[in-house]
Chains A and B, each alone.
Chain A
Amino acid sequence: MKLKHSLFSRRQFLNGLLGGWLGALAASFLYPVVKFIFPPYREPDKVILPFSDYEDMGPNSVRNFPWGSKPGLIKKEDDGAYLAFVAVCTHLDCNVVYLAEQKKFFCACHEGWYDENGLNIGGPPPRPLRQLIIEREGENIIVKREGVE
């Protein structure tokens, strides 16, 4: 039945209501499923490392540190300054290695090259290595993301 000025019939209205309700019901079942299969992830804001572990590094050398579930590299420059990188290739996520003799970072997966400052210089990598901010605070080194206090 449809009233004179109505846009749709009573049947259509009820079907719409029922369909909408069924859709909402399905969504309410689906939501926890989807929520469950994507675990939350938060990249660390910063990691605190004892300076003593990195004090004895020679110039132009690197040492590992864990950046969440990714490997990080702390690099000592020739002038004694420290740099920190996320040691993951920007191409397809493989872990990179620092080749001190050549002063380059290298990814063995698809032969990607970065210079000593992490700039992509050869092979497939589309971006430079991600750099982190590194600070000395008393006995500790603090490595943090950009924009973190």
Chain B
Amino acid sequence: MNLKKIAAEIQAWFDDRFGLSAIFKFLREKEVPQHRHSIWYYTGSTILLLFGIQVITGFMLVFYYKPTLEEANKSIARIMTEAPLGWIIRSVHFWSASFMIAIVFIHLFSIWIAKSYRKPREATWMSGVFLLLISLVFGFTGYLLPWDDLSLSATKVGTDIPRSIPVVGIWITKLLRGGEDVTGDTLTRFFGFHVCILPVFIFILLAFHIYFIQKQGMSLPLAFENKGKKVRSLPFWPNFVYREMIVWLVLVGILVTVAIFLPPSLDKAADLMAPAPEGIKPEWYFLFLFQVLKIFPAKILFINGDTVAVLMIAVAFVLFFFLPFIDNKPTERKGKIITVVAYVVIVFAVAMTVWSLL
């Protein structure tokens, strides 16, 4: 019996039980359209790569990290100084998170502007909005874990924002904080969100998100769809995969370089009773929100300014979530206005971010 035959038999054994050949057949036949906008197709897989790096470096960090009031800051210091190569693992985790969020935003706006969410891909968009939300909460909960002055103040502010929502707000704040105030319980709870609850949800949502994309194939730009032009395409395996790998390798190179030369800092352990340090800033992807809250007046027509701000954010989020249904006539005037809105949102967010850094 030669090796080839054994391999074929093993494959047949698995195929009888799990029907894997259907998946392999699908991947062999999958094609990716090629046109001048196909560069945006790479954003999805780079997010997956960075997410994978987060999972692996996260597994590593959790071997040393201790989520308690007394130990959190010390255990990070230990990771940075004692654990072999610990500093670089933490630095990669830190930077990969930022890279991932950045590419998530690029992914999001490329889809918004190309209107790839149009029928029948509404559910792909909606699962994506939840993935965005979870990614941001990952970032927010991870920010507290080093337990230094900056992260404590950022968490106090961030968990206090929902309080301005009428009726349910106070309960959201209490749920997040594990009590009335940010304390050691908040730290333990954030750790639970970060390494246990959020991962479960992100994996489930990712599975749906990726399944929908495979089911429906890559979306084509509107222009092609209308003209009914035949679009050139590339086999997914191996041509497109190799191209993706080039992008991945370049990205990993940049990521590790940045991680080596700019490792994240660690301040002294947070003191719950100390005043907020000067110049506190959240992570860069919350800066636009930070700036909006800062310039919002305390009172607008006898209503608490923050309540207005939070309600506006909530309404914007709902509109954003249902965008595929709002933008139901993509080629008409309404569709063009919605594309302009995407650019306006980008300009607004960038302007607010720059302002907050001044």
Contacts and interface: CB of A to CB of B under 8 A. Distances in A.
A136 to B, nearest CB: 23
A126 B299 CA distance: 7
Contacts of B179: 39, 41, 69
B276 A107 contact: yes
B208 interface: no
A103 interface: no
Most buried by B among A39, A69, A93, A94: A93
Nearest to B157: A92
A71 B157 contact: no
Contacts, number: 92
Chain A, interface residues (CB within 8 Å), range: 20 to 34
The residue in A66, A87, A94 that gathers the most chain B C-beta atoms within 10 A of its C-beta is A94
A10 interface: no
B228 interface: no
A70 B179 CA distance: 12
A91 interface: yes
Contact of B273 (A66, A125, A126): A66
Contact of B298 (A37, A93, A124): A124
29 contacts: A37-B175, A37-B178, A39-B179, A41-B174, A41-B179, A68-B181, A69-B180, A69-B183, A87-B275, A89-B276, A91-B306, A92-B293, A92-B306, A93-B157, A94-B276, A94-B280, A95-B273, A95-B276, A97-B276, A109-B153, A109-B156, A109-B280, A120-B298, A124-B293, A124-B296, A124-B298, A124-B305, A124-B306, A126-B305
Interface of B: 153, 156-157, 159-161, 171, 174-175, 178-183, 185, 272-280, 290, 293-294, 296-299, 304-306
